Structure 1
Amino acid sequence: MSGLMVRGLLYLSLTAIGLPGNVAVIAAFLLAYHQERRLLPADAIVLHLACANLLVVGVRCLLEVLASFSLANVFSDTGCKAVIYVYRTSRSLSIWLTFILSAYQCLSIAPPGSRWASARDLFARHLALAFVTVWVINTVMSSPAVMFSLGSNNNSTAMQYSINVEFCFVRFLSIDDRNANGAAQVTRDAVPMILMTLASLIILVFLYRHSQQVKGLRGGGAEQRAAKAVVTLVTVYVLFYGVDNGLWVYTLTVRQTMTSSVISDLRIFFSSLYAALSPMVIIASNRKVKNQLSCRAQEKATLDKATTLSTM
């Protein structure tokens, strides 16, 4: 089996999991909003996160599958600029939204009437501003991709400082340009990673103390379940994006002037794993999503049964 075939199958597995998973989460929250005319702040953050993850899987993984199996190829110079720009923006949005979710959940476990509870209410009132801010930051920081991306069929001789991503190149004019761009991306990812890890540690301390106080009792409240779900998401993030960023740092420090596409493929695969698997965590842990999906499944089963009886 060729390397391109293996590559296509790996991206196909991410697409097969990530596309329906993120669509299901988005549909569940939209149905809930239609019924209740409102979404809780945490639900709005998760909905936004699912949208960003859907972009990662749909724009990057699905197109990689089509190109790997020669079904379609959008990776011209213009296509590479668009795909890499949207991928980098949605990928970093996914990271920052995970941080916003962990920060909000950390504030949500604060005792009523405390300063942290007041901060949570302030956070909730200005959530739209937080969304706009992360969109602006990440769209601006991803803009170099538009200037430097080229299709792999480009025969330019000035490719010595390029990053090879199989069907595209990200070309830089000098090693300093490449390292500066890479350092900016690492910083953009490291800041929310450190902050969300800190928030998750606070949540874990709270959960431990709560478990000691209610030792012997089964289950937990909605806040405890939501806190555990957020810690799980952050753990998945740190695992996959940690590998991704480690490979990115390696790419920036190797002596060769043009990096191998294998390293870039591994980076994209691990970062896309989070976008593909996080909806599974959300579906398993979010009661609102689970209820909406089970209700739709029951309605479909009832409709199918009625259709079958009417044709007999």
Structure 2
Amino acid sequence: MEASDIVISVIFLSQTAVGILGNSFLLYHYLMLYFEGCKLKFTDWILQHLIVANSLTLLCKGVPHTVSAFGLKDFLNDIGCKLIFYLYRVGRGVSISSTCFLSVFQTITINPKPSRWAQLKVKSPIYIVSCVFMSWVLSFIVNLAFPIYMTARPNNRNITRLRVYVYCYTVHHDKATDILNAIFLPVPDALFILVMLCSSGYMVCILYRHKQRMKHIHRSNFSFRSSPEFRATKTILLLVSTFVFFYTISCLLQINLSLAHNPNSLWVNMAFVVDASFPAVCPFLVIRH
């Protein structure tokens, strides 16, 4: 192995191992709280789905990339390639939607307007629960098309119609189909990111107005700043901003890869590092805050 391959292998291994350990620790933490009969906040319930989705992403993306980076290329058969890629897409989709629902729910929770939002605050957990479970179902259904074109080895296929992705291959479509895929595949991600940005921006406005009001209150027995809602809001804003940063770059890289016939290994490695960054960082942001 060359020096560059060793560096890439160490980066993949470190990122995957740290991410899996962090998510496993949080899953263990929530399981212990569940068995001890502790009552969790609704945001914790959404976070559990986010952690499961992040773990699925790291296992299905990080482990195969790490193994291939150490020189073992043909370690998956056709079923393995299809399953790994399919579960990765499912985990990625649920990770995006769960982060979005987390932001929307917290926006509803901290909204100070009782008249128009009171009924929505009461019913929002029911709506969010339905949306989270629906996101799993839709993610399983929508991504069914991806494994169809995935294969482990060229076999008897025309090699010019195959696009190489490190340890697997995908069937190369015509140029028009590739352009359409590059345009429409990121649309759901972009919509979720747009909703996240809107809800996060609204949360920032709420916090800013509260700060302005608190300037005129010299003494108060209770401050929203010290409340669990305020701390949860700061944590969710940090999660959303981190998520939007990494997944915006990821979408741009995915567009570049979908348009390239045989993607350069540098672009493929960059796309992996960016894809795995949020699932690896997310548990430590939650633990820290």
Instruction: Check the 8 A contact 1:145/1:170 in 2, yes or no.
Output: no
Q: 1:284 to 1:155 in 2, by over 3 A?
A: farther
For residues 11 and 121 of structure 1, what CA distance do their matches in structure 2 show? 44
Paired residues for 1:116-265 under 5 Å: 116-152=117-153, 154=155, 156-160=157-161, 162=163, 164-215=164-215, 219-253=225-259, 256-265=260-269
User: Please, which of 254, 263, 271 is the counterpart of residue 267 of structure 1?
Assistant: 271
For residues 261 and 151 of structure 1, what CA distance do their matches in structure 2 show? 17
Q: What one-letter code is carried by the residue in structure 2 that aligns with 1:53?
A: N
Corresponding residue for residue 45 of structure 2:
44
Q: CA deviation digits over 1:172-197, x for unaligned, max 9?
A: 33223333333332001101000001
Q: 1:180 to 1:276 in 2, by over 3 A?
A: same
Instruction: Check the 8 A contact 2:154/2:162 in 1, yes or no.
Output: no
Q: 1:26 to 1:275 in 2, by over 3 A?
A: same
For residues 158 and 177 of structure 1, what CA distance do their matches in structure 2 show? 18
In the comparison of the two structures, how many residue pairs are matched?
Answer: 282
Q: CA deviation digits over 1:47-95, x for unaligned, max 9?
A: 1101110111122112322232257964322211111111111011111
Instruction: Check the 8 A contact 2:100/2:195 in 1, yes or no.
Output: yes
Q: What one-letter code is carried by the residue in structure 1 that aligns with 2:233?
A: A
For residues 258 and 85 of structure 2, what CA distance do their matches in structure 1 show? 18
For residues 182 and 137 of structure 2, what CA distance do their matches in structure 1 show? 19
Corresponding residue for residue 23 of structure 1:
24
Alpha-carbon distance, 1:158 to partner: 4.9
Alpha-carbon distance, 1:228 to partner: 0.8
For residues 264 and 231 of structure 2, what CA distance do their matches in structure 1 show? 43
Corresponding residue for residue 6 of structure 1:
7
Q: What one-letter code is carried by the residue in structure 2 that aligns with 1:175?
A: K
Structure 2: 5+ residue runs without aligned partners? none
Q: 1:208 to 1:241 in 2, by over 3 A?
A: same
Q: 1:15 to 1:251 in 2, by over 3 A?
A: closer
Alpha-carbon distance, 1:145 to partner: 1.8
Alpha-carbon distance, 1:108 to partner: 0.8
TM-score with structure 2 setting the length: 0.88
Q: CA deviation digits over 1:126-164, x for unaligned, max 9?
A: 3332122111221122112210111255463254463x3
Q: CA deviation digits over 1:184-223, x for unaligned, max 9?
A: 3200110100000111101111111122222478852111
For residues 28 and 117 of structure 1, what CA distance do their matches in structure 2 show? 32
For residues 72 and 168 of structure 1, what CA distance do their matches in structure 2 show? 9
Q: 1:155 to 1:273 in 2, by over 3 A?
A: farther
Instruction: Check the 8 A contact 2:68/2:166 in 1, yes or no.
Output: no
For residues 81 and 3 of structure 2, what CA distance do their matches in structure 1 show? 24
For residues 158 and 141 of structure 1, what CA distance do their matches in structure 2 show? 28
For residues 54 and 280 of structure 1, what CA distance do their matches in structure 2 show? 13
Corresponding residue for residue 78 of structure 1:
79
Q: What one-letter code is carried by the residue in structure 1 that aligns with 2:141?
A: V
For residues 38 and 68 of structure 1, what CA distance do their matches in structure 2 show? 43
Q: What one-letter code is carried by the residue in structure 2 that aligns with 1:18?
A: G
Q: 1:141 to 1:172 in 2, by over 3 A?
A: farther
User: Which segment is superposed worse, 224-233 or 38-47?
Assistant: 38-47
User: Which segment is superposed worse, 57-66 or 46-55?
Assistant: 57-66
TM-score with structure 1 setting the length: 0.82
Instruction: Check the 8 A contact 1:89/1:142 in 2, yes or no.
Output: yes
Alpha-carbon distance, 1:237 to partner: 0.8
Alignment partner of 2:186: what SS? helix
Alignment partner of 2:169: what SS? strand
Alignment partner of 1:39: what SS? coil
Alignment partner of 1:169: what SS? strand
